[in-house]
Structure 1
Amino acid sequence: MQIIQGWGMTEVTCGAMHVPGGVDTDSGTVGQLHPNCECKLLNEEEQELGDDTPGELYVKGPQVCIGYWKNDVATKECLSADGWLKTGDVAVRRDGWFWIVDRKKELIKVNALQVAPAELEAVLLEHDDVADAAAVGITLHDEEWPRAYVTLKDHAKGKLTESEIQEWFSKKVAKHKQLKGGVMFVDEVPKLASGKIVRKLMKEWSKRDAAVLEGRTKARL
């Protein structure tokens, strides 16, 4: 038996992408477009993007819903006049294959540049001493920065510092993706039974920590 991955949502009634049968891949791709489907990736200015550039996924096809029942406002927000569905998912395309990298509402905006938490988390998990990690935006003095909550492997607890993680991480990513919002060690990254990170709780942690960090900064001044 072969298990394949695909992509879909309620508004497309089933799916719009899948990995073709017989293809063996562990790249994390959600596959290629279904027949009779169209898609495009757009940035914040609604400009269409090319390969290897993350953008919001728009899809169009016969399976896309015609709207939300008795909710014209939601329909106008998600469906364009010519039938494009704004999915809210951030994807990357390469040679006709697609990868879902994040949700648009979860993106961290650093000096007008978008940073996907999933990308930061993937880098953190490359560290030999990191068991799990979650990234979220933190607003300090009206500026948003990436912040990470990290669970260490047992052998590294008490031996590795947050600043050491930051320094290691800074060599792996572009300047605007660095963890300038700090690193905090936690016993466990909160997740649903499905393994999905509880982003809502992470944002609450971020707001709590921002109040503390801003208070410390003001105290020093």
Structure 2
Amino acid sequence: MNDHPVSRFNLAQSLLDPNLERHPDKIAYFCQDEEVSYRQLADAARRVAALLQARDIETGDRVLLVLQDSPVFIASLLGVMLVGGVAVIAGTSLTSEDYRFIQEDSGAQMLFASASLPEATALAGPSLPCLRCGESLAEWLTRLPGVSVSSVPRSGDDDVLMLYTSGSTGRPKGVPHSANDVQASAEAFAGGVLAMTSEDVVFSVSKLFFAYGLGNSFTFPLRFGATAVLHPAKPEPAEIRRLITNHRVSLFFAVPVVYTMLLKTMPPDWRPETLRLCVSAGEALPAPVAREWHAQTGIELLDGIGSTEVTHIYIAQRPGESQPGATGRLIPPYETRIVDEAGAELADGSPGTMHVRGPSLARRYWKRPEKTAATMLADGWLNTGDIFRRDDGWYYYLGRHDDMFKVDAQWVSPLKIEEVLREHPAVLDCGVTWRSLEGLNHPLAFVVPGEGQNPDPALDRELRQFAAQQLPSHMVPVQIEFIAELPKTATGKVQRFRLRELFTERSAS
């Protein structure tokens, strides 16, 4: 529940001012060949704020940001907050149709877009002024006036940003968050679990437009005075290793598929000496990946789960007590309950739908009253749509409710099948859904073969035999479909419904 005391402050100012007092010349961000100090970042944010005020952006007005990860993104976000605006954050790989929908749905009155994203910059017009941006803050600043601006105080429960979820189907949904939400998520996870300090250097492969990446690279380092590494492009494994080594990264954040790729390409002599913790979220972390990562690097890989609606992670493993295969334990002050289809709370050991409440939960979806009523429940509870089992305080993620299916009257989670298949050396990645055969449902696996593997009937048989040795018969895939790349959301989640669509298309042809 969002029962915060009534207060008025400016989130951007509250993030910047302590750093300006303690260490103004400390590096806040590394990005490519650029180093940006806290003093330079604050100056850039004030210049952005001055520009917005000159364009008559007022308290509560929305500004759309479609930007590659860079200090320009950070300064733009802070500048919008300084003038009391609401930053509407969209992904960088959407279609022009999606961008048009988000702009119209949010009512954004100005656009900041990377010049390298023509689908976004195409939105510019007489009714939507657009500032085309590069990734270099120093080059960008020369275009903006250097004037003094006063920050606009707002209630802690007022919206300061809005993220658009990629969604499994249909149009993206806007999820507004307040300053209190943002601060609470930082205290709970970055402070309470990671014990982040100003000595840390953080690097998140997950991008800023993703709630997970926004916390990792924006809120957390600014709140604790740390340094963050940004990389505009999608980094390849060799580039990730280089950035970790060259910038002496201590906290690393990614999604499971990135850890899998790193393990499959890791030189035997690579030892990330400065890393103290690694974090995985976005999808369930397969237990073999967690074990192999620790064996190869000596660094704990902590799994966790969060959501756009909760702002960041609310269940996570803890340093020194990680358990591969478990999602983790509840992070104070969040609360959870696991319920059946009728909404009755279940005892430990019984799988059911997770409800969560806590200080960083969104209170509504933007302009979606029916979705809000179905998801944001009475007394501050959020229906996550995730299926969990709880045992002795540990939570085990079983999958999304929409991805579960029944075989022989038994519920099947795709995650367990995917975990087993990924252990086979011929499998780079995989996704599992279901198909109907003679009127009955059966598991269907889509496999991305590893380099040099021949996706032929022999490999199909080999993978199904491998699965049969480790899984109950009702969980063994009845068929393997080979695919070059899995359909995923912009934030890296496998879109299993698209796998079913793809199978239908292949069957028809």
TM-score category by the smaller chain?
A: 0.7 to 0.9
Residue ranges of structure 2 left out of the alignment (5+ in a row)? 1-249, 251-276, 280-302
Q: What is the CA-CA distance between 1:194 and the residue it aligns to? A: 5.4
Structure 2 residue 427 is matched with structure 1 residue 127: no
Which SS does the other structure have where 2:474 is aligned? Answer: helix
Q: d(CA) in 1 for partners of 2:489 and 2:310?
A: 24
TM-score by length of 2: 0.36
Q: d(CA) in 2 for partners of 1:195 and 1:66?
A: 25
Structure with greater helix share of residues: 2
**CA deviation map 1:38-85 (0-9, x unaligned):** 212234454544445543211123433333355331122113334321
Residue number in structure 2 paired with 1:9: 307
Q: 2:316 corresponds to which letter in structure 1?
A: H
- Percent identity reads 31
Residue number in structure 1 paired with 2:473: 175
Range with greater deviation from structure 2 (10-19 or 79-88):
10-19
Residue number in structure 2 paired with 1:184: 481
Q: d(CA) in 2 for partners of 1:44 and 1:111?
A: 20
Aligned partners of 1:90 and 1:100 also within 8 Å:
yes
CA distance 1:167–1:93, shift in 2 (3 Å): same
Q: 1:78 corresponds to which letter in structure 2?
A: T
Residue ranges of structure 1 left out of the alignment (5+ in a row)? 213-221
CA distance 1:151–1:142, shift in 2 (3 Å): same
Q: 2:423 corresponds to which letter in structure 1?
A: E
**CA deviation map 1:145-198 (0-9, x unaligned):** 210122334565258342343233223222321223x11233444456755334
Mapping for residues 191-210 of structure 1, pairs under 5 Å: 191=488, 195-210=492-507
Aligned partners of 2:317 and 2:323 also within 8 Å:
no
Q: d(CA) in 2 for partners of 1:152 and 1:162?
A: 11
Q: d(CA) in 2 for partners of 1:159 and 1:178?
A: 16
Q: d(CA) in 1 for partners of 2:459 and 2:404?
A: 26
Q: What is the CA-CA distance between 1:209 and the residue it aligns to? A: 4.1
Structure 2 residue 339 is matched with structure 1 residue 18: no
Residue number in structure 2 paired with 1:33: 330
Aligned partners of 1:30 and 1:98 also within 8 Å:
yes
**CA deviation map 1:120-143 (0-9, x unaligned):** 111112224333322111234543
Structure 2 residue 342 is matched with structure 1 residue 74: no
Q: 2:368 corresponds to which letter in structure 1?
A: N
Q: 2:360 aligns with which of 51, 63, 69?
A: 63
**CA deviation map 1:18-45 (0-9, x unaligned):** 334x436362644322223221223445
Q: d(CA) in 2 for partners of 1:195 and 1:13?
A: 17
CA distance 1:62–1:198, shift in 2 (3 Å): closer
Structure 2 residue 438 is matched with structure 1 residue 138: no
Aligned partners of 1:17 and 1:33 also within 8 Å:
yes
Residue number in structure 1 paired with 2:204: none
Q: d(CA) in 2 for partners of 1:24 and 1:97?
A: 11
**Number of residue pairs aligned between Structure 1 and Structure 2:** 210
TM-score by length of 1: 0.75
Aligned partners of 1:139 and 1:207 also within 8 Å:
no
Residue number in structure 2 paired with 1:166: 464
Which SS does the other structure have where 2:428 is aligned? Answer: strand
CA distance 1:49–1:208, shift in 2 (3 Å): farther
Q: d(CA) in 2 for partners of 1:209 and 1:140?
A: 15
Largest Rg, 1 or 2:
2
Q: Over aligned residues, Cα RMSD in angstroms?
A: 3.1
Q: 1:86 corresponds to which letter in structure 2?
A: N
Q: 1:168 corresponds to which letter in structure 2?
A: F
Q: 2:304 corresponds to which letter in structure 1?
A: G
Q: 1:115 corresponds to which letter in structure 2?
A: V
Q: 2:388 aligns with which of 91, 98, 102?
A: 91
Aligned partners of 2:322 and 2:328 also within 8 Å:
no
Q: 1:104 aligns with which of 385, 398, 401?
A: 401
Aligned partners of 1:138 and 1:210 also within 8 Å:
no
Which SS does the other structure have where 1:166 is aligned? Answer: helix
